[in-house]
């Protein structure tokens, strides 16, 4: 077992020796004595202890005898010192610990039969272990239960004042939403200020509570722990890849738990750099979508303008006949497909194989096209690595982190916790650049509020400042002097005065951050939706690569340019080849050798390299009539894309629209065939998170109704189209992938990257770099003074979370535009007042609400909701290199009605 550093882990503490139960032990001076004891393999009781946060010392259970002291010592708060002589066992210590248990039980309600923690309670275990059978002076607290929170109930009659909930919230998550308060003669845990709990609702306080004092409102009184089946799987909400336990009873999910609990309180403190085992609000409380009453349970076929239920056999026969007829009449390029990155790797692999072999088309794409492809293609072009360069441990141990264009706490909450630990434990300097007042900016050492849409100009300024200050790494730039000279020439034409005016940053800020990033031993840039989902995303990622290259932060341990993903398997979607550019393993589809290799493996003739189409091109070809049949698996373009994309017109012109989904989406309502698919909880497979870790998805429950796993449906469809696929399970598909991509299944370990810049910097760089650093004109006209931004909320992800009643309870669609209080006051508006929101695409009426995280001059609407249809005010910009559509920012007027 490792030891939690007393201060900064980079500062080596003195080694000491002490005696524990007659054995000499070597430890670090000043660390918790309890940790030293645990390091020897001896576990002594400790109800207020957890290795993920600092010792607290309230429960009185971890008592040991120290030579020279008369009374027992609380080992968790005692600091190890040279020459200590410690005894951990003996009748006196057993009786002292028993007395501590009795003290807790004397004011504890003996309501175990109705307590949700019954059978999973540390106080119960300690009472049994210490033989507590009689309580002479027991008394009740009679404290009213606090049920004001939307997701958690606080029963302080059961609380043992261990403070684990307070400490995990304050020390690990840095939210600090709970406190002790003296009420009714007892210390009680209450939300800050004794107000209704208003926090991130991650539920980690619930996870570490060793008794039943904090309970899950959605599963209260529904179970006993031994009645439930617990399945370890991977969360389906974002690309962090958090491990979780789906706990099911009969045919429903009762609750979600995680590796973080009082049961796993003993661990290696250094392992927290790879995560603390917790979950976010979506993972813990967003499970009700799995057994939602809105789930599709039968195939639907359109007859006389209506969707009617049909048996699987009849629906599949009709569907295959339609596909065959269209292929014979119009050719394979009349068929296209779109797939969601919420599918498993195995299903994504089959999808592209189905499209390319059974249908004979390379017109296919996935939801990774909404932004992640900008990063993948830029990173692959620059350093030969088509994914994020850094893992959680790199982020945690970094000394300088630039977070640009990312509200990381809202989109990827557990990655945000890694950055929080970098700040708290490793003393990292964190720089945030965003046009919103983000949660991370409140914790950052260098928070900068920039003008909307100026992220690219910020990078320009950092690159220029690094060169002007001469904080470049001579070894890095010396290998490619011509490339460096070309870059210097490109940024020389940029005016720092113009960049400061454009971004709202001072020239001193540019200089300070460039120097900080260059001089730190471990530096990382983390970019996300504000870069990859906005115009010029591809070029802006390349500019970040320039910054990292000239400062020597590419290819060095713990350094790099990295990103995160919104959906759980966007990286897997790219790796499995669900893009017209790639075959599995990110082999270029245009490479004849790569194409021949897969053609032989699949015993098929693959479409020509010139026939591919990505999302935007597919929708355009649907509108033109070139594409006659579209197979959509889990995607909902009608609800996702703005009206300016004319998605409805394209879908309505199709002769055949097939939607395969767990829910009847807006797109599915237009379909000719709707096939009911399983959720991730009803099938096996894997996801690949943004770090490159391949993580297991395990079946926790039987499929709902007649729904089937996506791989099962595709196998049946392929065989009916003349293929000979004999997959009987996800394992069969994995075996095939393993043969084609040896080493891909890496048992949950991040695959290390090896950036190589030589090809990029020596071939074409000097002729193209100038294009990236051209002066850009002002972004908006003065006639539209507000920037309308659309993005994620912490409580929601995509359209899946809106099917979870728990998350809707916490964060319902208010149907209101979020604005800064200062702007509302300037416009003479009260909370809830109606305004007219006008863009170049149109206008609508909408109510307003105050949101202090929205910067002055901007307004915000959650992208997860389409009522009112704010997204239809957006203009779409398509990246000319990657085909990524950008539609998350627009300049608007806001006028009182």
User: Phi and psi of 194, rounded to 5°?
Assistant: 55, 35
Check residue 10 and give its pLDDT: 66
pLDDT beyond 70 at 7: no
Check residue 777 and give its pLDDT: 65
Q: Give the model's confidence band at 853: pLDDT under 50 very low, under 70 low, under 90 confident, else very high.
A: very high
Check residue 608 and give its pLDDT: 95
Element (H, E) at 596: helix 592-602
Can you spell out the DSSP letters for 184-225?
Answer: TTEEEEEEGGGSPP-S----HHHHH-SSSSEEETTTTTS--G
Lowest-pLDDT range, 171-185, 594-608, 771-785?
A: 771-785
Check residue 267 and give its pLDDT: 81
Q: Give burial (CB, 10 Å; 0-12/13-18/19+) of 15.
A: exposed
Question: Averaged over 880-896, what is the pLDDT?
Answer: 97
Q: Give the model's confidence band at 134: pLDDT under 50 very low, under 70 low, under 90 confident, else very high.
A: confident
pLDDT beyond 80 at 321: yes
Check residue 2 and give its pLDDT: 36
Q: Count CA within 13 A, CB hemisphere, residue 660.
A: 28
- Give the closest residue to 436 by CA, choosing from 871, 860, 861, 862: 860
* Terminal-to-terminal C-alpha distance of the chain: 64
Question: Averaged over 658-664, what is the pLDDT?
Answer: 98
pLDDT beyond 70 at 136: yes
- List, in sequence order, every residue forming a beta bridge with 190; answer none if it has no partner: 179
Question: Averaged over 91-114, what is the pLDDT?
Answer: 94
Q: Give the model's confidence band at 11: pLDDT under 50 very low, under 70 low, under 90 confident, else very high.
A: low
Q: Give the model's confidence band at 5: pLDDT under 50 very low, under 70 low, under 90 confident, else very high.
A: very low
Q: How far is CA 330 from CA 323, 425, 606, in A?
A: 11, 62, 17
Element (H, E) at 660: strand 656-661
Lowest-pLDDT range, 104-108, 523-527, 632-636, 697-701?
A: 104-108
**In the chain, pLDDT over 70 holds for what percent of residues?**
98
pLDDT beyond 50 at 6: no
Q: Give the model's confidence band at 775: pLDDT under 50 very low, under 70 low, under 90 confident, else very high.
A: confident
pLDDT tens readout for residues 256-278: 999 999 999 988 777 889 999 99
pLDDT beyond 60 at 578: yes
pLDDT beyond 60 at 779: no
Distance of alpha carbon 260 from alpha carbon 242, whole angstroms: 11
Q: Give the model's confidence band at 1: pLDDT under 50 very low, under 70 low, under 90 confident, else very high.
A: very low
Q: Give the model's confidence band at 749: pLDDT under 50 very low, under 70 low, under 90 confident, else very high.
A: confident
For all residues of the chain together, what is the average pLDDT?
94
Check residue 280 and give its pLDDT: 97
Question: Averaged over 313-331, what is the pLDDT?
Answer: 98
Q: How far is CA 417 from CA 176, 242, 275, 436, 866, in A?
A: 13, 12, 8, 19, 30
- Give the closest residue to 199 by CA, choosing from 806, 794, 887, 849: 794
Check residue 3 and give its pLDDT: 39
pLDDT tens readout for residues 460-517: 999 999 999 999 999 999 999 999 999 999 999 999 999 999 999 999 999 999 999 9
Check residue 135 and give its pLDDT: 84
pLDDT tens readout for residues 858-883: 999 999 999 999 999 999 999 999 99
Element (H, E) at 758: helix 758-762
Q: Give the model's confidence band at 336: pLDDT under 50 very low, under 70 low, under 90 confident, else very high.
A: very high
pLDDT beyond 90 at 185: no
Q: Distance of alpha carbon 153 from its chain centroid, rounded?
A: 26
Kindly report the pTM of this predicted structure: 0.96
Q: Give the model's confidence band at 798: pLDDT under 50 very low, under 70 low, under 90 confident, else very high.
A: confident
Check residue 271 and give its pLDDT: 80
Question: Averaged over 885-897, what is the pLDDT?
Answer: 96
pLDDT beyond 60 at 444: yes
Interstrand relation of 889-896 and 786-791 (parallel, antiparallel or unpaired): antiparallel
351's CB contacts (< 8 A; 6+ apart) are 337, 339, 343, 364, 576, 578, 633, 710, 714
Lowest-pLDDT range, 207-211, 278-282, 799-803, 815-819?
A: 799-803
Reduced to 3 states (helix: H, G, I; strand: E, B; else coil), residue 377 is helix
Check residue 139 and give its pLDDT: 85
Q: Give the model's confidence band at 586: pLDDT under 50 very low, under 70 low, under 90 confident, else very high.
A: very high
- Helix, strand and coil content of the chain, in percent to the nearest 5, comes to 35, 20, 45
pLDDT tens readout for residues 507-556: 999 999 999 999 999 999 999 999 999 999 999 999 999 999 999 999 89
741 contacts 584 by C-beta, under 8 angstroms: yes
Question: Averaged over 51-63, what is the pLDDT?
Answer: 92
Check residue 4 and give its pLDDT: 47
């Amino acid at each position: 077992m490792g030891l939690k550093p007393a201060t900064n882990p980079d500062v080596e503490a003195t080694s000491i020796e002490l005696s524990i139960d007659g054995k000499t032990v070597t430890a670090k001076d000043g660390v918790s004595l309890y940790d030293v004891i645990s390091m020897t393999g001896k576990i002594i009781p400790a109800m207020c202890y957890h290795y993920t946060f600092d010792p607290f010392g309230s429960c009185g259970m971890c008592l040991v005898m120290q030579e020279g002291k008369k009374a027992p010592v609380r080992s968790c708060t005692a600091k190890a010192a040279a020459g200590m002589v410690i005894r951990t066992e003996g009748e006196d210590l057993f009786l002292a610990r028993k007395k501590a248990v009795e003290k807790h039980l004397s004011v504890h309600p003996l309501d175990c039969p109705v307590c949700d923690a019954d059978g999973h309670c540390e106080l119960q275990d300690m009472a049994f272990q210490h033989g507590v059978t009689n309580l002479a002076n027991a008394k009740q607290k009679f404290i009213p239960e606090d049920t004001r929170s939307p997701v958690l109930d606080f029963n302080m009659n059961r609380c043992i004042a261990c403070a684990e909930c307070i400490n995990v919230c304050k020390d690990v998550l840095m939210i600090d939403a709970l406190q002790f308060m003296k009420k009714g003669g007892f210390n009680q845990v209450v939300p800050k200020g004794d107000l209704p709990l208003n926090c991130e609702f991650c539920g980690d306080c619930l996870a570490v509570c060793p008794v039943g004092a904090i309970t899950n409102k959605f599963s209260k009184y529904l179970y006993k722990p031994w009645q439930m089946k617990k399945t370890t799987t991977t969360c389906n909400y974002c690309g962090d890849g958090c491990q979780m336990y789906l706990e099911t009873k009969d045919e429903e999910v009762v609750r979600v738990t995680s590796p973080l609990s009082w049961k796993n309180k003993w661990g290696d403190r250094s392992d927290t750099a790879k995560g603390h085992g917790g979950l976010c609000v979506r993972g813990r409380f967003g499970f009700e979508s799995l057994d939602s009453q809105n789930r599709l349970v039968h195939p639907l076929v359109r007859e006389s303008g209506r969707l009617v239920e049909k048996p699987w056999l009849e629906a599949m026969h009709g569907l295959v006949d339609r596909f065959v007829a269209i292929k014979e009449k119009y050719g394979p390029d009349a068929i296209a497909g779109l797939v969601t990155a919420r599918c498993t790797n195995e299903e994504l692999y089959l999808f592209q194989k189905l499209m390319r072999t059974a249908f004979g088309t390379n017109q296919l794409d996935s939801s990774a096209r909404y932004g992640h492809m900008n990063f993948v293609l830029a990173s692959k072009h620059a350093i030969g690595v088509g994914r994020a360069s850094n893992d959680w441990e790199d982020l945690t141990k970094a000394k300088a982190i630039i977070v640009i264009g990312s509200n990381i706490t809202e989109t990827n909450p557990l990655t945000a916790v890694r950055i929080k630990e970098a700040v708290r434990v490793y003393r990292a300097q964190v720089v945030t650049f965003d046009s919103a007042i983000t949660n991370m900016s409140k914790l950052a050492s260098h928070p900068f509020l920039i003008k909307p849409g100026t992220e690219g100009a910020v990078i320009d300024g950092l690159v220029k400042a690094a060169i002007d200050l001469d904080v470049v790494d001579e070894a890095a730039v010396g290998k490619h002097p011509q490339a460096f000279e070309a870059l210097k020439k490109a940024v020389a034409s940029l005016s720092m005065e113009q960049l400061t005016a454009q971004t709202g940053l001072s020239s001193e800020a540019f200089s300070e951050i460039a120097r900080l990033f260059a001089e730190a031993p471990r530096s990382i840039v983390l970019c996300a939706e504000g870069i990859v989902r906005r115009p010029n995303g591809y070029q802006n990622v390349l500019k970040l690569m320039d910054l990292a290259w000239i400062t020597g932060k590419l290819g060095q341990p713990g350094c790099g340019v990295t990103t995160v993903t919104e959906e759980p398997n966007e990286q897997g979607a790219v790796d499995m080849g669900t893009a017209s550019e790639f075959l599995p393993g990110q082999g270029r589809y245009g490479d004849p050798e790569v194409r021949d290799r897969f053609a032989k493996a699949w015993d098929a003739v693959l479409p020509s390299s010139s026939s591919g189409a990505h999302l935007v091109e597919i929708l355009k070809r649907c509108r033109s009539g070139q594409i006659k049949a579209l197979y959509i698996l889990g995607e909902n373009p009608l609800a996702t894309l703005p009206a300016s994309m004319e998605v409805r017109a394209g879908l309505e012109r199709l002769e055949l629209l097939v939607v395969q989904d767990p829910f009847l989406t807006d797109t599915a309502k237009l379909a000719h065939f709707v096939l009911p698919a399983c959720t991730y909880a009803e099938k096996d497979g894997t996801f690949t998170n943004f770090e490159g870790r391949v993580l297991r998805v395990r079946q926790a429950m039987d499929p709902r109704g007649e729904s089937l796993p996506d791989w099962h449906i595709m196998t049946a469809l392929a065989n009916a189209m003349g293929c000979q696929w004999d997959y009987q399970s996800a394992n069969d598909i994995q075996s095939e992938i393993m043969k084609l991509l040896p080493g891909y299944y890496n048992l949950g370990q991040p695959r290390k990257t090896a950036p190589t810049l030589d090809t990029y910097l020596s071939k074409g760089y000097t002729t193209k770099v100038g294009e990236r650093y051209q002066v850009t004109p002002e972004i908006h006209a003065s006639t539209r003074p507000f920037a309308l931004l659309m993005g994620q909320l912490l409580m929601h992800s995509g359209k899946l979370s809106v099917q979870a009643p728990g998350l809707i309870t916490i964060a319902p669609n208010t149907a209101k535009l979020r604005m800064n209080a200062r702007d509302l006051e300037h416009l003479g508006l009260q909370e809830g007042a109606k305004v007219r929101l006008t863009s170049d695409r149109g206008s609508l009426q909408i109510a307003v609400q105050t949101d202090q995280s929205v910067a002055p001059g901007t307004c915000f609407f959650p992208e997860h909701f389409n009522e009112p249809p704010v997204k239809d005010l957006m203009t779409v910009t398509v990246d000319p290199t990657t085909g990524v559509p950008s539609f998350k920012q627009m300049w608007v007027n806001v006028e009182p009605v």
